[in-house]
A and B are shown apart, each in its own frame.
Chain A
Amino acid sequence: QVQLQESGPGLVKPSQTLSLTCTVSGGSISSGGYYWSWIRQHPGKGLEWIGYIYYSGSTYYNPSLKSRVTISVDTSKNQFSLKLSSVTAADTAVYYCARAIVVVPAAHNWFDPWGQGTLVTVSS
């Protein structure tokens, strides 16, 4: 079955860019049919969708983060990545990658499965 694993620095300085990668195993991103997502969870808080990407490169972002977010895909490595610019302490969170089943982007969709998540702390 499909498994996802996040990787990247656990500590980022304020004003810098957060960069994470999600490696997909057990299935190919380029086979299509799914979107590939980033979702975050602030410590002790709820879930916030960041955005997702299709293997073709089409992206959809949460309007509240859109100006700072870039999601890209590398089908040759079966990976997709997140870049979040100009981070502050408010971006400290566990970042999850997940596969999305999407009928209408940003509307009719759900997420399954999820990676284990990686904690990113923004601090000097």
Chain B
Amino acid sequence: DIVMTQSPDSLAVSLGERATINCKSSQSVLYSSNNKNYLAWYQQKPGQPPKLLIYWASTRESGVPDRFSGSGSGTDFTLTISSLQAEDVAVYYCHYGYTFGQGTKLEIK
């Protein structure tokens, strides 16, 4: 079974500062047929369902602010929020296949 491991489990960042969340897969998420990494990131605010932020590791879903960016390939990926806003407080999950990471709770310092 694939294991998705996020780090850190929780993170406190000052408003306007950069937040970085890492995700490591136990096996490659690269689909060789189209050379795309099928790694997705979701944001879940309290009491709400998860919302897709990024797919193909680095493609922002329509309507997602450009302060959110994804990077990485193969087994190692990063979600970066370039300038943290108050509304970004949430739990963030990475996802591949039928496995989600354990989540990273992002708070304001």
Interface residues, chain A, with chain B CB atoms under 8 Å away: 46-49, 62-63, 96, 98, 101, 103-104, 106-117
CB-based contact A111/B38 at 8 Å: no
Residues of chain B within 8 A of A112, CB atoms compared: 52, 55, 61
Q: How far is the CA of A60 from the CA of B102 in the complex (A)?
A: 22
Interface residues, chain B, with chain A CB atoms under 8 Å away: 1, 29, 31, 34, 36, 38, 40, 42, 48-52, 55, 61, 93, 95-103
14 contacts between A and B (CB under 8 A): A49-B99, A62-B98, A101-B55, A107-B38, A107-B97, A108-B29, A111-B42, A112-B52, A112-B55, A112-B61, A113-B51, A114-B50, A114-B51, A116-B49
Residue of A nearest to B103 (CB): A46
Q: How far is the CA of A98 from the CA of B50 in the complex (A)?
A: 10
Residues of chain B within 8 A of A114, CB atoms compared: 49-51
9 closest A-B pairs by beta carbon, nearest first, are A112-B52, A114-B49, A110-B40, A108-B38, A47-B100, A49-B98, A110-B55, A107-B97, A108-B31
Q: How far is the CA of A113 from the CA of B51 in the complex (A)?
A: 7
CB-based contact B95/A110 at 8 Å: yes
Residue of A nearest to B101 (CB): A46
Residue of A nearest to B50 (CB): A114
Of the candidates B42, B49, B61, which one forms a contact with A117 in the assembled complex, judged by CB atoms under 8 Å apart?
Answer: B49
Residues of chain B within 8 A of A104, CB atoms compared: 31
Q: How far is the CA of A111 from the CA of B48 in the complex (A)?
A: 15
Residue of A nearest to B54 (CB): A110
CB-based contact B49/A49 at 8 Å: no
A109-B99 contact given A114-B50, A116-B49, CB 8 Å threshold: no
Residue of B nearest to A106 (CB): B98
